A and B are shown apart, each in its own frame.
Chain A
């Protein structure tokens, strides 16, 4: 069967029309939209669905009562922020926007019957489903690195107890120790994230453990904003941070979490005092269970609507999707959440969805007063997501200290603004 946007539209429009035919229904879109996942993508979609069409019943399924953001978790790891500062709650989505919040886990989705089952046993039906499941680790991808190993060598690539464990290890590490980070090959959540983490750990070491080292063992030969990061590292931290590329034998093939030792492709054994292993990743498990992923482990989507190719009517957004050239970032998920909310409301009202546009900025702090960024604006061009020519770019090489300080201020401004936009957090 060929999957077209038209057929999906037809299905949902029919549902909407049926609801409209019922008595005692307010004007505008009606029906039930279920959103799985209360992170950057899902919480955005839930809020903007209600904002655009208050008559919709919107249910957000999220196991955690407090969502800790990956963005800015590196500030916590570097001792700059408290953990509580990156926690976002759902009270405002409930009280101000009327989103029904269910703190449970989506266990299975039947996309044909349009139902899902929760961990607590409840079954929900939906007219449209938004899934923003984030990532899960590929526990079978790196020899010696499974869930038990992560309790000794944390990944800290989903903010939460793993992040707190890594912070505690950094605090306990004696001066003169080596923090070893194992960085994955593409694609993975937040391309500049490992390098911001290395930066802010170095910033912490510089103040508190100045004889210590940061060693990045990378499965790649290049990384996001590389030239800006390496400039910043030498300016702020001298030679404290060492990056080993894949071609220089930086690819780790085995982890011994008990010994805090890793083995590289060409057989070097490297011991860490604190070991942070960021393993290969895939779409959050529920996407797999719903049959939406392909052999890559990620979810192919129709670029125009972000409906899963495998299941029209199921809108998948955020890190779980194959949305290249948009990166796997919280900002991108936020932009996709807004577009998907507009699409769903249009479809339920029987209108054509508006032409989408997406924006992404990846800010990174190299130091508390040293920010860098990469910006991209995306549109649908010839049926595919494409970066608008000349729209974005990376921070200029020529930016002096004032420019970097301004970008650092913008980084904080961005976090305040986006958490306010999504969860209503007031700073």
Chain B
């Protein structure tokens, strides 16, 4: 089994957690009710992101399945309900999987030309846990949100695809044929990549070196409109949907960068009108 030694979901870890899984939603609710410290205070990077702000808790929607039968590639959507104008826009969004070996999953950076602070991706979740999200607004507002996901491996399934891929650095892109001026529309992207965490060993015990796509950039006419930074908990074959709201026609350039320095580039015409 290719992932048998991996730190990410194995049959053993999923099973070991099945017991906790049934009880967790209740426990989490109880923790909140008893006024325990919010999740972000327990994660160093999250604490730094919140800084001195008193975070608000309204305005972020986290779209995650209630339960996943395979933690290797879980669809995650995050939307921040705030204006996206030069005067006030969501600058960044930060995703944390609180019990993964490293809780930081990915960071997303928006611009007013994003039109909407909304992303969809696929992530690795090692066991039942909360997923925590922080959004930073250009006005200084900080918003936090969290949502629980249950991971229980199904006996009838195999999760052999944790790292399995072919044609590494092959990209796929979907861009709308036409945009209306300033109206946000969705870009869908995928790059073939194993996203090796560096935490896995071969059967012989050798560490498989870390090898991940670290950065994704979208620019229109040389101006960056959207950027993402990936870490090891982004699932194999990084998948990303985001919005752009171009005011006029031009060229969209998409660039993926691997930790080795290797890059892949796609160019697409943007037709507005």
Contacts and interface: CB of A to CB of B under 8 A. Distances in A.
B192 interface: yes
A159 to B, nearest CB: 19
Given A226-B160, A296-B66, A324 B153 contact: yes
Contacts of B21: 384
Contacts of A322: 66-67
Contacts of B172: 249, 266
A386 B19 contact: yes
Interface in A363-382: 374, 376, 378, 381-382
A7 interface: no
A326 B173 contact: no
A226 B19 contact: no
A392 interface: yes
Contact of B19 (A360, A384, A387): A384
A337 to B, nearest CB: 18
Contacts of B160: 222, 226-227
A227 B21 CA distance: 29
A389 B153 CA distance: 13
Contact of A191 (B18, B73, B157, B164): B157
Interface residues of A, number: 44
A191 B158 CA distance: 10
Interface residues of B, number: 38
A240 interface: no
Contacts of A327: 154-157
Contacts of A387: 15, 155
A239 interface: no
A192 B156 contact: yes
> Would you call the interface of chain A mostly helix, strand, loop, or mixed?
loop
Contact of A294 (B15, B66, B156): B66
Contacts of A392: 155
Interface string B154-187: 1111111100110000001110000000000000
* B68, B174, B188: residue with the most chain A Cβ atoms closer than 10 Å: B174
B237 interface: yes
A174 interface: no
B37 to A, nearest CB: 24
A106 B66 CA distance: 27
B19 A325 contact: no
B32 interface: no
Interface in A339-385: 360, 362, 374, 376, 378, 381-385
Given A186-B69, A221-B73, A381-B18, A265 B188 contact: yes
A325 B73 contact: no
A326 B22 contact: no
Contacts of A186: 68-70, 154, 157
A303 interface: yes
Contacts of B75: 185
B161 A222 contact: yes
Contact of B190 (A266, A360, A384): A266
A384 B156 contact: no
Contacts of A117: none
Nearest to A375: B155
A413 interface: no
A160 interface: no
Given A222-B160, A265-B174, A384-B22, A187 B154 contact: yes
Contacts of A384: 18-22
Interface of B: 14-15, 18-23, 65-70, 72-73, 75, 152-161, 164-165, 172-174, 188, 190, 192, 236-237, 239
Interface of A: 185-187, 191-192, 221-227, 245, 247, 249, 265-267, 294-296, 298, 303, 322, 324-327, 329, 360, 362, 374, 376, 378, 381-387, 389, 392, 394
Q: Which 5 A-B pairs have the closest CB atoms?
A: A376-B155, A382-B19, A296-B66, A324-B152, A327-B156
13 contacts: A187-B154, A221-B72, A221-B161, A222-B161, A225-B158, A226-B158, A265-B188, A298-B66, A326-B155, A327-B155, A327-B157, A374-B155, A378-B155
Given A324-B154, A374-B155, 16 more contacts: A186-B68, A186-B69, A187-B67, A191-B154, A191-B156, A192-B156, A225-B156, A247-B192, A266-B173, A303-B22, A322-B66, A324-B18, A324-B153, A386-B15, A387-B15, A392-B155
